[in-house]
Structure 1
């Protein structure tokens, strides 16, 4: 097993440090002095937030923000990010949903060594697919994501999309109390069930915000679920709104319908026809208001619905020659208590529970695929709780379910409902050992993760 060499950070010259303030260390995302080495600097450091009015929350953020600042790149270009760790913990950056080389995937002891405090790591990869993606650590995930180390990565289409207005909305529910202090990110009783829920839901770090949009225009809304646990039942009653992409990949535009279940790690791109000036439309999670969209007087002529977005260059699986592999996601009472040998294990895949403290787990992949082979994964949820199943390094096509009608689409994360069996297909075109796990973070950390090798 080989690692990308860690580099020691000799100083912060040219790293865009703004300075210190009463609210904590503040950084910014800027162009570096030496543009021949990287385009952006991304700095993980403590940052104080006011999530609850009048109270301070000791969060961790990227470049002085939590959630982190939006990164944008054009499809077909290289993304070059120098990541700097100013936390007391080791960390990495995983680029969720991006098809990239293994050494850039951000998994410690598999694709790279952890980045220690005062060190930097250069992430450089060609971005193949347009769409809405995100970045986060793959170390101490329940705490690091829970404290705010998440951020959006937007890959713009190679050619103009037809949308004149584009807004990113990051959904996150925080584990804090009424005074803004953090509560437990993972509680054993809840980790063995649906996952440990937070208390305060925000969009772009603000609870129930109002977003003013130009009336009469068709606006692109990118909704990203960057929560540890919560599945949002998104609905916009009385709105004229259509789905344009799921988890970064375009679909034939269609109405949002009654509601869409957006699990942790999942994204959806909507097009909203903004109502006349002064009219308000709610965005809801079930019956609960998440945000309000308000029409703002505009002198622009009424907007038209853009054409469907161009498909990403994902290889099409041949279902006739595909080999089928089954994966059972289940709870195991026999493994359900912590012991002195390692962390608790409440979940397993095909009878195997992942041990997050064991650095050698990746040496024992649960499946080995042939490079460029065609496969169907049969995903069986043997439990009463939902699991957003995420695959690193590749995209797969959802083709069927025993519980709902599926219009086939490509994705990297599929919300597997309780007692649901779904079939997804892929071409194993990216060599390496890739993580395969539930994106309810405390499910992942208590067993529901595996490695899949492509050789």
Structure 2
């Protein structure tokens, strides 16, 4: 793999976004329009970029809690449009899930909404707008939540790494082409600048230091492939949930909304730095490097699993109800017609309505749920991707496990990247009563039809 310091696309310069840090005591998040000097002066005399951010920053405040704390946050909407907050990956009461028109009403301009729920699970999670999210997330309405273990692992640095891309014009403004049909029918809205944002961002690290990196892909549609240089270690959690057996660290692939925690020990390298590298077509683009300074001499013990969260692990699928999900549509797809709002329509007519993807032949949010589930019921869902594009399937309200080809079960996750023409299967126990979304987290695909829901009773 060739490694270059050239930025991902020639049309953009380096961006800098100022983070904020919030502890659990900070309980008001204001969604508002802000102007931020994204492009550094050394790359030219660019104006400030207008963003939408929680507390006017991108990412929004980093919220840190201890497992067992209660999250209490008031959303104040100072935007020109209604909005909401979805607390991605957290197990919570249905009324707190933050889906407008479904679990709450959209928070209108000038209004507030109070969110409060206990934090059952330690891990790395995130929050984002779930109203017109194709637009609002692309403008910057997201932030990260860290729920610390009661006894965290012994590390020298604990760093959140936010991965994102932006589509900017020549004046460094976010382009307004949010509903471009080419994006919606293909891989989604791809930005022309890929970057990583570190909180905190240390000036240097010692050789042999132990570092926890919490990766979060907040991009609206882009799949991120990430490599680390100058470190060796383990993947210890995925989508917030600890792995029972940490995995050897290799190249990491993140669909939109996926997360992974890694713990690494810093090694001497040719570059004398810990490097975060974005990989595209066998070329690595340097997103961030932290120089080495000094050396720890004390040996570090082997990396151990994180403490388990109070989640049930599946052992077999006896008595499980099977609910198949077939994906169709998009460019080069196999969908000739589909049902939208109770009426069967041709693909040509659906394209005119901006509806181009379907689950089980239904486009968009159906009136009836995909299934009604009894609380405690074991569910298995074979997912068949008949399309030419990958889809990041996200289940609200709980985590699932993948059913592996050998009959075993993968780790707990809330988002699964399903590749083109691929079949994967997930299984979970219906946990909390309410209406729970199940949708593609390629937000362009969701807006263009890839969403459904379960009703747990």
TM range (shorter): 0.7 to 0.9
Structure-1 residue corresponding to 2:223: 231
Structure-2 residue corresponding to 1:379: 383
Please state if 1:142 is matched with 2:134: yes
CA shift at 1:370, angstroms?
Answer: 1.2
RMSD: 2.6
**Deviation sequence 1:265-298 (CA, Å, 0-9, x none):** 0001111211349712432222222222322225
Aligned partner of 2:34 among 16, 30, 47: 47
Shift in alpha-carbon separation, 1:31–1:422, aligned structure 2, 3 A: closer
Structure-2 residue corresponding to 1:312: 309
Cα distance in 2, alignment partners of residues 375 and 290 from structure 1: 40
Structure-2 residue corresponding to 1:322: 320
Structure-2 residue corresponding to 1:154: 146
Cα distance in 1, alignment partners of residues 347 and 228 from structure 2: 40
Cα distance in 2, alignment partners of residues 119 and 245 from structure 1: 37
CA shift at 1:124, angstroms?
Answer: 0.2
Aligned partner of 1:77 among 64, 69, 82: 69
Cα distance in 2, alignment partners of residues 153 and 300 from structure 1: 33
Gaps of 5+ in 2: 1-17, 41-45, 330-334, 338-345
Shift in alpha-carbon separation, 1:224–1:41, aligned structure 2, 3 A: same
Cα distance in 1, alignment partners of residues 123 and 310 from structure 2: 12
Structure-2 residue corresponding to 1:352: 362
Deviates more, 1:310-319 or 1:67-76: 310-319
CA shift at 1:343, angstroms?
Answer: 4.3
Cα distance in 2, alignment partners of residues 316 and 150 from structure 1: 30
Check the 8 A contact 1:106/1:112 in 2, yes or no: yes
Gaps of 5+ in 1: 1-25, 356-360
Structure-2 residue corresponding to 1:98: 90
Structure-1 residue corresponding to 2:114: 122
Please state if 1:283 is matched with 2:276: yes
CA shift at 1:205, angstroms?
Answer: 8.2
**Deviation sequence 1:366-402 (CA, Å, 0-9, x none):** 1211110011111111112110100000110112259
**Deviation sequence 1:237-274 (CA, Å, 0-9, x none):** 563132111110111212122x2210000001111211
Cα distance in 2, alignment partners of residues 376 and 47 from structure 1: 44
Map 1:2-17 → 2, pairs under 5 A: none
Other structure's SS at 1:201 match = strand
Check the 8 A contact 1:401/1:420 in 2, yes or no: no
Shift in alpha-carbon separation, 1:210–1:343, aligned structure 2, 3 A: farther
Aligned length: 413
Check the 8 A contact 1:276/1:296 in 2, yes or no: no
Shift in alpha-carbon separation, 1:105–1:280, aligned structure 2, 3 A: same
CA shift at 1:29, angstroms?
Answer: 7.2
Q: Could you tell me the TM-score, scaled by structure 1's length?
A: 0.84
Other structure's SS at 1:443 match = helix
Shift in alpha-carbon separation, 1:268–1:29, aligned structure 2, 3 A: closer
Check the 8 A contact 1:62/1:69 in 2, yes or no: yes
Structure-2 residue corresponding to 1:22: none
Other structure's SS at 1:48 match = strand
Structure-2 residue corresponding to 1:3: none
Cα distance in 1, alignment partners of residues 295 and 231 from structure 2: 19
Shift in alpha-carbon separation, 1:28–1:384, aligned structure 2, 3 A: closer
Cα distance in 1, alignment partners of residues 353 and 112 from structure 2: 29
Cα distance in 2, alignment partners of residues 237 and 298 from structure 1: 17
Map 1:207-226 → 2, pairs under 5 A: 212-226=204-218
